[in-house]
Amino acid sequence: MTPSTDQFAYQQCIAPDCAATFGIEEVLVACPQCGGLIDAAYEWDRLPVPGSLRVLEAQWARRSNPHAFSGVWRFHDLLPFAPVEQCVTVGEGQTLLLPSDGAAEYIGVRPGRLLLQYEGMNPSGSFKDNGMAGAFTHARLVGADRAACASTGNTSASLSLYCSVTRLLKAVIFIGSGKISYGKLSQALDFGALTVQINGDFDDAMARVKEVSQQLGIYLVNSVNPFRLEGQKTIMFRVLEALGWQVPDWIIVPGGNLGNSSAFGKAFHELHQLGLIPRIPRLAVINAAGANTLFDLVHRKGLHWNGGRPCRDAVAQFYAEMDAAGRRASTIASAIEINRPVNLTKCLRALEWCNGVVREVTDQEILDAKARVGAGGLGCEPASAASVAGAKNLVEEGLIDPGEQVVCVLTGHQLKDPTATVAYHTTDQDMFNKVLGSRGVRRAAFANRAVMVPNELDEIVKAIRLYS
């Protein structure tokens, strides 16, 4: 009998000085020996790795099979930590890579050179479903009955959806007070999650959920969970698939808790090691200026992977200064309003693997980019547009050439945060000031304002003649 692929999967601490290994059936969010982050790892030489990525595309021919249909599990050969028949799917990953020439013009690259990976098409409306399919599969493997997360909204929406659809686990979600948009909160409430709102922000909720899940033995699905990141690798597999397995020049992604950037780096590193791609694209991680820990640490403190030994003292000192100054994350892009990213070291590793860069963008830049993306028909939430705003700055800087192929990841759907969108386009100055002015946004250069007309036929006809 052929051995099951999960026999060749294990977990490993990412710190090279430690590199401790653990069984796949263990539940770990940090290395018990040194506290480092944990990877899912594979004995690739004992696994049936496809000779070419094109083989995986052939799964499409079997789409009536739910695992072949899933945009995550049709790449099972590249994340084989559980037998495929046990992998959890709710139909995630049916997402598209689409050109947007309006946004290309806005950022300053040639027509056809900007592509948007639209993860808003996932069942819960964000990229998180890719990772949740992975985490749920591992949770099932270890027999968990409850799962928890702290969230700025999308992880909690995704966890709640997977719980209610699969009925495998019960959801417990931790959110900061007043910190999550109604689109996302409404999902968690509707899907029936136990919703714990604490007096604090995401960073507080994250610290608490780690303590609580350990004390109560609840399975943690935040992106410190290595199997979340295995699922998120497939976002990049789908990008490559859509490009006929050609490697783009740039991948640009918003950075919050830094799970995506870490997962993308691992995906490309593994494909390259396995000889499945000839080169690795460059990665740009974009922080919001009001939640820019990664940017500050990399640019102001010179933090880097350093062969797996990033300077811990610099990080500790940075957080101590942050606490002493009472500095809290603050941005209209509430999804990435995070000051203590849990995947910091994995992201540094990804930047190393992908010759990556980190930039920050203001809320004004985010909202203007979001409006340009929306005008092209791909509605996204503010955090997602950070990728496009960052791309624009990188072109202006001259780091991205107008002829290069750029992929920006749109991480979440427009309807996740309608308040931000309406406030940008509104004619109501009070609303604009309250929602956006308070965050330093001064103008809405690309606003599509509603036309106010009295309820009289002549006036309506006149207005339409004037404006259309």
Binding site for ligand F0G (CB under 6 A): 126, 128, 151-155, 223, 254-260, 335-336, 381, 383-384, 411-412
Least distance in angstroms from the C-beta of 7 to ligand F0G: 30
Nearer to ligand F0G by Cβ, of 90 and 221: the residue is: 221
Query: What's the angle, vertex CA 463, arms to CA 460 and CA 466, rounded to 5?
Result: 150
Least distance in angstroms from the C-beta of 382 to ligand F0G: 8
Q: How many CB atoms lie within 10 A of CB 37?
A: 23
Least distance in angstroms from the C-beta of 460 to ligand F0G: 38
What are all long-range contacts of 206-212, with beta carbons under 8 Å and residues at least 24 apart? 206/150, 206/174, 206/257, 206/338, 206/340, 206/342, 207/340, 208/150, 208/174, 209/148, 209/149, 209/150, 209/174, 210/29, 212/148, 212/174
The whole-angstrom distance between residue 3's C-alpha and the CA centroid of its chain comes to 34
Nearer to ligand F0G by Cβ, of 82 and 159: the residue is: 159
CB 183 within 8 A of CB 162: no
Least distance in angstroms from the C-beta of 411 to ligand F0G: 3
Nearer to ligand F0G by Cβ, of 120 and 310: the residue is: 120
Nearer to ligand F0G by Cβ, of 12 and 130: the residue is: 130
Q: What single string gives the DSSP state of each residue in 387-444?
A: HHHHHHHHHHHTSS-TTS-EEEEE-BBGGG-HHHHHHHH-S-HHHHHHHTGGGT----
Nearer to ligand F0G by Cβ, of 129 and 241: the residue is: 129
Least distance in angstroms from the C-beta of 254 to ligand F0G: 4
- The DSSP H or E segment spanning 39 is strand 38-42
What is the DSSP pairing of strand 250-254 with strand 219-220?
unpaired
Nearer to ligand F0G by Cβ, of 59 and 257: the residue is: 257
Nearer to ligand F0G by Cβ, of 254 and 310: the residue is: 254
- 340 φ/ψ angles, rounded to the nearest 5 degrees: -125, 75
Nearer to ligand F0G by Cβ, of 76 and 179: the residue is: 179
Least distance in angstroms from the C-beta of 71 to ligand F0G: 17
- 122 φ/ψ angles, rounded to the nearest 5 degrees: -70, 160
Least distance in angstroms from the C-beta of 187 to ligand F0G: 11
Least distance in angstroms from the C-beta of 141 to ligand F0G: 23
Least distance in angstroms from the C-beta of 383 to ligand F0G: 4
- The DSSP H or E segment spanning 358 is strand 357-361
How far apart CA 203 and CA 175 sit, in angstroms, is: 10
- 393 φ/ψ angles, rounded to the nearest 5 degrees: -65, -35
Sheet-wide strand order for 170-176: 194-198, 170-176, 146-151, 219-220
Nearer to ligand F0G by Cβ, of 180 and 276: the residue is: 180
